Structure 1
Amino acid sequence: MSKRPHIRFIINPTSGPRSKVDVAARVKLHLDHSKFDHDIVYTDYAGHAPELAKQAAEKGCAVVVAVGGDGTVNEVARGLLHTETALGIIPRGSGNGLARHLQVPLSVDGAIRFLNQGHRTRIDSGTINGHPFFTTAGIGFDAYISSVFAGSKHRGLKTYVELIMKEVRNYRHLPVKVTINGKTLDTDCFVLAFANAAQYGNNAYIAPLADIRDGLLDVCLVRKLDMFKALNLSYSMLAKKPAGPDSAEYFKAMAVEVTTDHSIMYHADGDFLGKASAFSVSMVPQSLYVVAP
């Protein structure tokens, strides 16, 4: 490494809209080369980005930039946890939840110029059954939609909304036991969302009051969902305010335990992880540096 801070760009070549942008060319044009050295690497397979990020951190990189969607951001961030290397983001996905929460410009050129400012801050991360997440994790319907969305040929908000409207009538809530803040709830569960950041992505705010630096999970429980409650919850998410008590309940906690007699789907940062009948969710305060205001 030279005396100038080094930035590594990790590009997921499969992320992004059909109209491809030559990110390498834009980096050459907009990165301040008087301030930073850089290199660009590409992922070859799922799970490659954490390796590339960890290698960069071990070499003393100042910043590692995830170029891709929320899945790529999650992978790069996992490789940087508990290091002095900061996560940067060039958002190229359909939701871009962490980029939006951190107020990173959504354009490629704007995100690169934002890196030149060099602002760093620490944020919290969470884990669900040992898997790190940085925006949201959840069990129930949102995880089910993640599994369906992952298999869809089309991306974007329109596809996501169409899937929700198609599947919401067929998905059934399940009984779960939730231990939170020393109390155990026996409850039905349509969605149980664990938020570090305020939104899923696409400005859909599942936990509008979430603070990514407070060391606490914002937990949103939707017990049952009929069409009226679905409309109320959808409006609240888009209006960036908590839903009414008839539609959702909110809690703050450092850790949550969930058990159920039935295996339930779960996700982290929108990536479907599988099914389980027991979940341990917790916060890891101030565990990641990010380039953000």
Structure 2
Amino acid sequence: MPRLRICFILNPNSGTNRRQDVPALITQHLDHDKVASTIYRTQYAGHAEELARQAAAEGYRVVVAVGGDGTVNEVGRGLLGTAAALGIVPRGSGNGLARHLRVPLALPAAIRRFNAPDFQRIDVGDINGHPFFCTAGLGFDAHVSKCFAAAGTRGLATYVQVALREYRTFRPTPIQVTFGEKELDTNCYILAFANAAQYGNNAYIAPLADIRDGLLDLVLIDALPLWRAVRVGLGLALGDLPKSGAADFHTARQVHVQTATPLGFHVDGDYVGEASAFKVDLTPLALEVAT
């Protein structure tokens, strides 16, 4: 039986455990009688997408993102429309998609899974031409993503510090949201589009989201006074935000959003930029994953 061909795309700057020697772990924990592996290293932003597309063209069956949610997003984008499956060795500060797919967070265990991986397909979201696999969003979470990227340090503690600091001054924006037969004129403090259940770090923004059901879970928070902020925080941590009454939930295949003023948006936790009009849609089962 021919060996399974796997390409690992390593982001050397990802996450909080950079001291771990990933190539040595791959050598140690892969069964090289079953797997033929190669490692590519990223050199700049966007490079992982290019390398993933190249690896798929070279015939690798699995292309593994070794990094955080941003690296996973880049590799996933590069594999759309190819015959290669996305794998993940989580090495980030949030690891949202890895957690949703129950990929082990310990690197040796995550690597050993590729000796006999399971294959399945997942839905893929898109916001204004930017694919996402876990979550995308407008408003406060995007603003925090932008500030977090500039913070200089990573990890949950830094994210919480940034969120608490920015909470004092962030204000909601009037928006119009259209999906199916519904049209909502409301305010946006947070409008999240969830393909998977969580942002990362087990913060469950949409605990009922199913990554294979052909629908996005929309989570709308129109304002966030202190009492509601506490309920949202507890809901994220406990995974019961829909029961809290602090957010409105909907499902849709396609969504259009018009904003009164430009709003920042993120894909899979990485800030993208601002826009006043958004088209968000979902393509069912558009990406194969290996876990």
State the alpha-carbon separation in 2 of the partners of residues 55 and 11 from structure 1: 14
Matched, 1:131 2:130: yes
State the alpha-carbon separation in 1 of the partners of residues 282 and 18 from structure 2: 37
The TM-score, its normalising length taken from structure 1, stands at 0.97
State the alpha-carbon separation in 2 of the partners of residues 37 and 123 from structure 1: 25
The TM-score, its normalising length taken from structure 2, stands at 0.98
Q: Is the 8 A contact 2:79 2:85 kept in 1?
A: yes
Pairing 1:1-293 to 2, within 5 Å after superposition: 3-17=2-16, 20-244=19-243, 246-292=245-291
Which blocks of at least 5 consecutive residues in structure 2 are unaligned? none
Which blocks of at least 5 consecutive residues in structure 1 are unaligned? none
Query: 2:241 aligns to what SS in structure 1?
Result: coil
Q: CA deviation at 1:230?
A: 0.6
Q: CA deviation at 1:242?
A: 2.7
Q: CA deviation at 1:164?
A: 1.1
Q: CA deviation at 1:245?
A: 6.3
Q: CA deviation at 1:18?
A: 5.1
Cα deviation 1:13-41 (Å, max 9, x = unaligned)? 11122551110000000011111101001
Q: Is the 8 A contact 1:233 1:243 kept in 2?
A: no
Query: 2:97 aligns to what SS in structure 1?
Result: helix
> 4+ residue stretches of structure 1 with deviation over 6 A?
none
- Identical residues among aligned pairs (%): 54
State the alpha-carbon separation in 2 of the partners of residues 182 and 239 from structure 1: 32
State the alpha-carbon separation in 2 of the partners of residues 225 and 246 from structure 1: 12
Q: Is the 8 A contact 2:17 2:91 kept in 1?
A: no
State the alpha-carbon separation in 2 of the partners of residues 83 and 249 from structure 1: 36
State the alpha-carbon separation in 2 of the partners of residues 187 and 110 from structure 1: 45
Q: Is the 8 A contact 2:232 2:244 kept in 1?
A: no
Q: CA deviation at 1:177?
A: 0.4
Q: CA deviation at 1:117?
A: 2.2
Q: Is the 8 A contact 1:237 1:243 kept in 2?
A: no
Q: Is the 8 A contact 2:48 2:74 kept in 1?
A: yes
State the alpha-carbon separation in 2 of the partners of residues 185 and 245 from structure 1: 21
Count of residues in Structure 1 that have an aligned counterpart in Structure 2: 291
Q: CA deviation at 1:82?
A: 2.3
Q: CA deviation at 1:261?
A: 2.2
Q: Is the 8 A contact 1:229 1:246 kept in 2?
A: no
Q: Is the 8 A contact 1:176 1:261 kept in 2?
A: yes
State the alpha-carbon separation in 1 of the partners of residues 63 and 111 from structure 2: 12
State the alpha-carbon separation in 2 of the partners of residues 26 and 273 from structure 1: 33
- The CA RMSD over aligned residues, in Å, is 1.2
Q: Is the 8 A contact 1:8 1:65 kept in 2?
A: yes
Q: Is the 8 A contact 1:86 1:288 kept in 2?
A: yes
